[in-house]
Structure 1
């Protein structure tokens, strides 16, 4: 499936960290983009930050992605879909209602809407959380691949004592499984590619107005940058990550790569990360903060790996952005919010 400047792509979640970089990548290639968006105010703000792009972008207003038929108008006329949107609210009172059901219904809604349309491919942003087995013993050697699935059950994910983080991993697992089940039972004219990234770091595509604009991964970098010496580093159970700009490129490559159809990928950098590394890079960049930024020892876990071969074979993007550059590009964007 070769991309061309005439391609018309629907992007959901296009104002978020990942989605906005995906939209910009597509625009820079000359593609037309339709954004599924909640309000005219959000549409106006997005266009205002991208002068000269209004001829390439139009909007479909989808106030609730879980509504039946929510995407029916949005898919009309587009040739492909990049479905990034998914609820992520760690402060919700009910994990099932706030995280799990919306994720499943959102996937089901956009897949059903695409039946009988001109859509030829859907690229879906899943998560490494849909692959990760949190019950695997610490220190046990393992190489994660696209064949792995998070073994969490629906009952476990919706239990009252389940953490929002585990419920979120469950939501991504069940939503992706719903997508593959749909493909098997409906045999639609379009194909599906799912991407399962781990921690996603990097600068925002739209200049931030406050630290409330941060995604969960970048919140951890902000915590390191805005910490004090007595603070502990955020926990780092695994060392897998990817720069959001590389991830956006992989989303677009997934649209144009014929071999990617019907496959699942784990897009992560080959360079490991720890928050100790982030702390050291930040102290080098901001010597005035030395002795203030939290420090600690966080080793890389060499016994846990990811199979890079499928994505290197099908969607090579060259050298990934190094973690140091990612951290500093992020910090330079957010340093203005540091307390004086």
Structure 2
């Protein structure tokens, strides 16, 4: 397939989400027309306001992404798709109903809609390192994950699991495999790209949330250090910058050779002790605020004792150097903390 270029029209599902908002902004700044999907009219108005009512952005209400015809109207006239609408979090209780079915059926729905739309050239699906990671292998300090790796979790493991993170990881691997299976079996006229980020840290797009309780799960790890009794164990030690990830989404559309490829999109390794150390070392965060964060074992690192991953394919194919293009973990965390502290003050 040929690459997609501005001012062509892109469908972005989940346009009101943490990642979705940044993707929409990136596409608009590059001159694309964007159709964003949200679940209700209130969210549509909020997203329109976030992007200053840009005339290149239109919003479509999709209340149920599991509906087989959910995206049939929104996708009309679109040349590319960024599919981000998917449940993410660790508070679910009915794993099958709340995680597995929406993730799988939402992916199948967008694939079907794209197949009925002749103008669509490429579908980009936001997957996750969760679809790559094999938790049963343990820390595996000598292991380097690549795009060839897949989580071994099955539907039954996700449905019957005793822990929400297990069900979430199952939902991600099953949703991504749904897309690749669709490509193989249906042989549609469009090609596919999947992106697998780690824990996504970075600034909230202005106006996306009003209360800290609505903070996305990844950034919630940073905020969760405040007023904590101790520093929690690091369970997902790879991070991705939100601004770099948004750029990767655009490049996944515009780069011709990216078609039918899977990418790890990772900025580097981290652990929760490191996040705490960054906060305590910052001269931009007042001492009265720092005391809210446990000191832990200062300088202690767990990342040398755990697996790593190779995301060099992003640089090779998408020409995106994740470590040079964006801010460091220190800059990212400090800027985020300042933003969250300001939001906390606004809501007192």
Instruction: Give the TM-score normalised by structure 2.
Output: 0.91
Runs of 4+ in structure 1 over 6 Å off = none
Answering whether residue 264 of structure 2 is matched by residue 261 of structure 1, we say no
Gaps of 5+ in 2: none
Residue by residue over 1:210-243, the C-alpha shift from the partner in whole angstroms, topping out at 9 and shown as x without a partner, is: 102311111111112x225xx1113213431011
Assess if the C-alpha contact under 8 Å between 2:72 and 2:113 holds in 1: yes
CA pair 81-290 structure 1, distance change in 2 beyond 3 A: closer
Where does residue 95 of structure 1 map in the other structure?
Answer: 95
3-state SS, counterpart of residue 234 of structure 1 = coil
SS in 1 for 2:124: strand
Per the TM alignment, residue 295 of structure 1 is displaced from its structure 2 partner at its CA by 2.0
Pair 1:278-2:279 in alignment:
no
* 2:303 aligns with one of 301, 309, 318: 301
Mapped to 2, the partners of 1:287 and 1:125 lie a distance apart of: 38
Q: How far apart, CA to CA, are the structure 2 residues paired with 1:205 and 1:290? A: 24
Residue 77 (structure 1) aligned with residue 77 (structure 2): yes
Does residue 331 of the first structure (1) align with residue 328 of the second (2)?
no
Deviates more, 1:235-244 or 1:124-133: 235-244
In 1: Cα distance, 2:108 partner to 2:140 partner: 37
Q: Is the 8 A contact 1:82 1:251 kept in 2?
A: yes
> How many Å separate the matches in 1 of 2:273 and 2:52?
39
User: What's the CA shift string for 1:131-152, capped at 9, x where partnerless?
Assistant: 0000003345211011101001
Confirm or deny that 1:146 pairs with 2:147. Answer: yes
Residue among 241, 261, 265 paired with 1:243 = 241
Please name the residue that 2:315 is paired with.
312
The 2-side partners of 1:71 and 1:327 are apart by: 36
Give the deviation of 1:337 after TM superposition.
4.3
Equivalenced residue count is 334
Residues 259 and 120 of structure 1: CA distance in aligned 2, closer, same or farther (over 3 Å):
same
* 8 Å contact kept, 2:7–2:33: yes
Q: Distance in 1 between matches of 2:22 and 2:41?
A: 20
In structure 1, C-alpha distance between the alignment counterparts of 2:340 and 2:303, rounded to whole Å? 29
Correspondence for 1:174: 174
How far apart, CA to CA, are the structure 1 residues paired with 2:8 and 2:294?
A: 47
Which stretch of the first structure deviates more once superposed, 24-33 or 161-170?
Answer: 161-170
Provide, for residues 39-78 of structure 1, a one-character-per-residue CA deviation record: whole Å limited to 9, x for no partner: 121111112222251x111122110000121111111100
- Where 1:44 maps in the other structure, the secondary structure is helix
Q: Where do residues 183-202 of structure 1 align in structure 2 (5 Å cutoff)?
A: 183-202=183-202
Structure 1: gaps (5+ residues): none
Contact 1:86–1:106, Cα closer than 8 Å, also in 2: yes
**Contact 1:265 1:310 (8 Å CA) reproduced:** yes
